[in-house]
């Protein structure tokens, strides 16, 4: 029913300020009657991070920052949902307006600045859903005014590790001043060491993931991959939004807005970085492919580039929730055409070629 209603609701939603439309969507999802995740084709199941995911299509962080509706989102057909980002203390983020639709580019620019209700609120909501089916992770960050950002990540890890399947360490948001500095080798080494130590002391079964920016150099990627492997990170999320502005953008006026660009224009750069990452880590470190996924073909390409799981968000603004079953049907059709019984045989098989794909 939701899929059928979206074409009717989209003109109304797009007539509103994007943030207002987003908040209205969250309220609508919270009003849905409870329903568990539906059954998926067994060929879509993925065994990774010590867990079984019913399908590889996940929701990226940023949509449900406060963990208000993870179960409603799972009910739409996602194989997993990542809530957050979460920071220890409540913070309002940057002033509005702070999100912009680049409609002709099927893209979004945001500069939210990790607006968050804070750790206590999110922890209470995640604790309340314990025992329900479905894979849920959380994205964590640091407060903008924090005097000890490493301690912020540790605090979030200790509080949330018992409540989720995975924790994503976000050092790649472009909208918190200085946050991407934590991607530097020395800072990152200490950060991951302390987060893993906090996880081990609290709930050793929770996976630790690291989310990286699409704008890093290959030399920086080499260092980050080596640090993640050395510190026992269980997966890399490739990638966050970009501060670059491709020359192909049609919404030239909006393209001047400060913030991270996501959606279709990010696909090529994020996929190249994903393939480059796979060439460096192979099967030693699973990858989650993010950036510009808006079709079954895009999801299939991410998997061929090295992703065991994929995540999307911005494409939902334009395609609606019907995109989720569409991608899953498309992946099954691809597997049938190749007489393959699982996606595992496809992961990374074309990474070398896709590392050189054109923008």
pLDDT (tens digit per residue) in 304-335: 999 999 999 999 999 999 999 999 999 999 99
Helix, strand or coil for residue 125?
helix
Residue 180 has pLDDT above 70, yes or no: no
Cα distance from N-terminal residue to C-terminal residue, the chain? 37
Task: Determine what percent of the chain is predicted with pLDDT higher than 70.
Answer: 97
Chain segment 344-355, per-residue pLDDT in tens? 999 999 999 999
Is 30 known to be catalytic? no
Return the minimum-mean-pLDDT range out of 65-69, 178-182, 252-256: 178-182
Residue 358 has pLDDT above 90, yes or no: no
How far CA 145 is from CA of 3, 15, 272, 290, in Å, comes to 41, 35, 34, 28
The reported pLDDT for the residue numbered 34 is 82
More confident residue, 357 or 348: 348
Residues 63-77, mean pLDDT to the nearest whole number: 97
Residue 47 has pLDDT above 90, yes or no: yes
* Residues forming a β-bridge with 99: 110
The whole-angstrom separation of Cα 20 and Cα 13 is 8
- Only one residue has tokens 């192909």, namely 248
The whole-angstrom separation of Cα 167 and Cα 202 is 13
What DSSP assignment string belongs to 324-351?
HHHHHHHHHHHHHHTT-S-GGGTTTTTH
Exactly one of 106, 172, 173, 239 is catalytic; name it. 173
- Assigned token pair, 302: 């991410």
Residue 173 has pLDDT above 90, yes or no: no
Long-range own/partner contacts, residues 29-36 (CB < 8 A, 24 or more apart): 29/68, 29/69, 29/72, 29/73, 30/68, 30/69, 30/72, 32/2, 32/72, 32/75, 34/71, 34/72, 34/75, 35/75, 36/71, 36/74, 36/75, 36/132, 36/133, 36/134
Residue 131 has pLDDT above 70, yes or no: yes
What DSSP assignment string belongs to 232-249?
T--EEEE---BS---TT-
Residue 24 has pLDDT above 70, yes or no: yes
User: For residue 292, which of 14, 105, 74 has the smallest C-alpha distance?
Assistant: 105
pLDDT band of 359, cuts 50, 70, 90: low
The reported pLDDT for the residue numbered 1 is 60
DSSP state letter for 163: G
Residues 221-236, mean pLDDT to the nearest whole number: 97
User: For residue 76, which of 330, 334, 288, 323 has the smallest C-alpha distance?
Assistant: 323
Residue 357 has pLDDT above 90, yes or no: no
The reported pLDDT for the residue numbered 184 is 72
Kindly report the average pLDDT of the chain as a whole number. Answer: 95
- Residues contacting residue 249 through CB under 8 Å, at least 6 positions apart: 102, 105, 107, 255, 265
Residue 177 has pLDDT above 70, yes or no: yes
pLDDT band of 174, cuts 50, 70, 90: confident
């Amino acid at each position: 029913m939701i899929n059928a209603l979206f074409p009717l609701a989209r003109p109304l939603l797009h007539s509103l300020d994007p943030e207002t439309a987003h908040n209205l969507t969250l309220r609508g999802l919270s009003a849905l009657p409870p329903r568990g995740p539906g059954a998926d084709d067994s060929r879509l199941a993925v065994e990774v991070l010590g867990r079984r995911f019913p399908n590889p299509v996940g929701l990226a962080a940023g949509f449900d920052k406060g963990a208000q509706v993870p179960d409603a989102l799972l009910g739409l057909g996602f194989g997993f949902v990542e809530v957050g980002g979460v920071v220890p203390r409540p913070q309002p983020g940057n002033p509005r307006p702070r999100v912009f639709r680049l409609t002709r580019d099927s893209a979004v620019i945001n500069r939210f600045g990790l607006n968050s209700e804070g750790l206590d609120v999110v922890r209470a909501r995640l604790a309340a859903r314990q025992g329900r089916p479905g894979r849920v992770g959380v994205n964590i960050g640091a407060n903008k005014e924090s005097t000890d950002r490493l301690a912020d990540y540790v605090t979030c890890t200790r509080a949330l590790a018992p409540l989720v399947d995975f924790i994503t360490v976000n050092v790649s948001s472009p909208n918190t001043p200085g946050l991407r500095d934590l991607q530097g080798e020395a800072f990152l080494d200490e950060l991951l060491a302390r987060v893993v130590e906090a996880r081990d002391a609290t709930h050793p079964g929770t996976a630790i993931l690291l989310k990286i920016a699409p704008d890093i150099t290959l030399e920086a990627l080499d260092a980050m991959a080596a640090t993640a492997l050395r510190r026992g990170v269980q997966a890399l999320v490739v990638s966050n939004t970009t501060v670059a502005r491709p020359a192909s953008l049609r919404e030239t006026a909006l393209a001047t807005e400060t913030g991270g660009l996501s959606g279709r224009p990010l696909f090529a750069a994020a996929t190249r970085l994903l393939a480059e990452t796979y060439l460096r880590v192979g099967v030693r470190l699973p990858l989650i492919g993010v950036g510009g996924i808006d079709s079954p073909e895009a999801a299939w390409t991410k998997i061929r580039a090295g992703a065991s799981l994929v995540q999307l968000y911005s494409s939902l603004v334009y395609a609606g929730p019907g995109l989720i079953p569409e991608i899953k049907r498309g992946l099954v059709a691809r597997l049938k055409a190749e007489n393959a019984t699982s996606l595992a045989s496809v992961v990374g098989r074309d990474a070398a070629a896709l590392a050189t794909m054109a923008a």
